[in-house]
Amino acid sequence: MSLTRVSLEPPYLLYLGDVADDDHAKTGFGLAYWRPEHCAGQMRLPDCPVDLGLTEMSVANAVEAGVRTAIVSVAPVGGQIPDHWLPQLIEIARSGINIASGMHSKLRSMPDLVAAAYKGGATLTDVRVPPDNLPVGQGKLRSGKRVLTIGTDCAVGKKYSALALHRELERRNIKATFRATGQTGIMIAGEGIPIDAVVADFISGAAEVLSPANDEDHWDVIEGQGSLLNPSYSGVTLGLLHGSQPDAIVLCHDASRAETLEVYGDYPIPELDEVIDDALRLARRTRAGCFCAGVSVNTAAMDDTERETYLGRLQDHLGIPCVDPLETGMTPIANFMLRHAS
């Protein structure tokens, strides 16, 4: 069974349009962090407040710099490309620069953009397209080991934590593969399955395809999506949890967030021990021995002293490693996971 595979020619121009906040520009931040050698610059509309810290470019600048692919580097609610972005995207395509997008709205469904790409000799790549003929999940246990990142909400660091854990395992020469389930992860890894574009009946089956049977000492590090706590996206999360059959989960959390994003009504985030207990109860439906290997926390809003105090108290309370993957690294979680995996 095939995966979604993409090969994006660098250098990249990261296109932000007028995205309103950093959370919805996570594709751009992810590419700039994990593939900095490929990122030549950024392009924004005048009122865009988000800054990736890259060189600001016009289309002419990008052509002069040898940019080969412009990437729509945002992930807004609903995944649609606004009409007022099209003039810039058309100018990019007409200049001969390829365009890639992980949005739900497809580049190749936009006639004016398709015509501009044809005229300029550019290619249009839609990343958020799952492979054909995905199966219904079977629930059959598979060889190999798996760890899945889950979150207390959307945009809390599930992709970053998975990539950082994968890097830590590779550093130790442990056999491991990062399994991408979202647009940014697929662009970074070059392959995966965009799980939120899969028809609901086939989500768990897609997770089984993504993390097939493997050597007993091989780890699949699976990027989580959505959150069991977020009413908008919990269905994707549960299908991924059941299909992945993880030996371990890593809970990801933003310490500054008290409520779930992008929903109407009051949906506070529960205590983390409650979140872990609920997730493990559901995970053990398809993987009886699943355990939580730790908590990966975004503490960007804290200073060093606050971070150390917060993580220390949380770790004492939960009895498992609690880290900030950017500030303290994933070593404690990797140690705990490897020690407790059967």
C-alpha pair distances (Å), 159 with each of 84, 227, 252, 257: 29, 13, 10, 18
Categorize the per-residue pLDDT at 258 as very low, low, confident or very high, splitting at 50, 70 and 90: confident
Mean pLDDT throughout 243-267? 89
Residue 129 above 80 pLDDT? yes
Q: Would you list the domain boundaries of the chain?
A: 4-126, 145-340
Cis peptide bond upstream of 11, omega within 30: yes
High-pLDDT (> 90) share of the chain, %? 93
Query: Is the distance from CB of 16 to CB of 28 less than 8 angstroms?
Result: yes
pLDDT at 1: 59
At residue 226 the predicted structure's pLDDT band, cuts being 50, 70 and 90, is very high
Q: 140 burial class (0-12, 13-18, 19+ CB within 10 angstroms)? A: exposed
Angstrom distance (rounded) from CA 53 to CA 42: 8
**265-291 residue pLDDT tens:** 788 999 999 999 999 999 999 999 999
DSSP character at residue 268: B
Please give the pLDDT value at position 158: 97
The reported pLDDT for the residue numbered 194 is 96
Q: Which of 252, 233, 58, 48 is nearest to 150 (CA)?
A: 252
Can you give the pLDDT at residue 336? 98
HSE, side-chain direction, 13 A CA sphere, residue 74: 24
**Identity of the amino acid at 119:** K
Q: Which positions ≥6 away from 26 have C-beta within 8 Å?
A: 75, 155, 159, 184
Q: DSSP state, 180? A: B
Residue 210 pLDDT greater than 70, yes or no:
yes
Angle among Cα 139, 228, 130 to the nearest 5 degrees reads: 60
Look at the domain 4-126 and name its fold: Rossmann fold (3.40.50)
Query: 């609903």: which residue's tokens?
Result: 78
pLDDT at 135 over 70: yes
pLDDT at residue 38, as a whole number: 98
In this model, does residue 324 exceed pLDDT 70? yes
Question: What is the token pair recorded at 261?
Answer: 């994003």
Residue 140 has pLDDT above 70, yes or no: yes
Residue 76 has pLDDT above 90, yes or no: no
Q: What is the DSSP string of 65-87?
A: TT--EEEE----TT----GGGHH
Is 208:137 a contact under the CB 8 Å cutoff? yes
Instruction: For residue range 103-118, list pLDDT tens digits in order.
Output: 999 999 999 999 999 9
Q: What's the angle, vertex CA 128, arms to CA 32 and CA 61, rounded to 5?
A: 40
Q: What does the pLDDT read at residue 58? A: 97
Report pLDDT for 23.
87
78 against 329, higher pLDDT: 329
Beta carbons within 8 Å of 109's beta carbon, 6+ residues apart: none
Give percent above pLDDT 70 in the chain: 99
CB atoms within 10 A of CB 69: 23
| Cα(237)–Cα(225) distance, integer angstroms | 6
4-126 and 145-340 in the same fold: yes
At 170 the pLDDT is: 97
Looking at the chain, which runs of residues are DSSP E strands?
4-5, 12-17, 39-44, 69-72, 98-101, 124-126, 145-151, 176-179, 191-192, 219-222, 248-254, 291-298, 322-323
CATH topology of domain 145-340: Rossmann fold (3.40.50)
Angle of helix 331-340 relative to helix 158-171, nearest 10 degrees, comes to: 70
* 239-263 average pLDDT score: 93
Structure confidence by residue, pLDDT tens digits, 2-57 = 899 999 999 999 999 999 999 899 999 999 999 999 999 999 999 999 999 999 99
Residue 264 has pLDDT above 70, yes or no: no
Q: What is the spatial distance between Cα 228 and Cα 338, in angstroms, rounded to a whole number?
A: 25
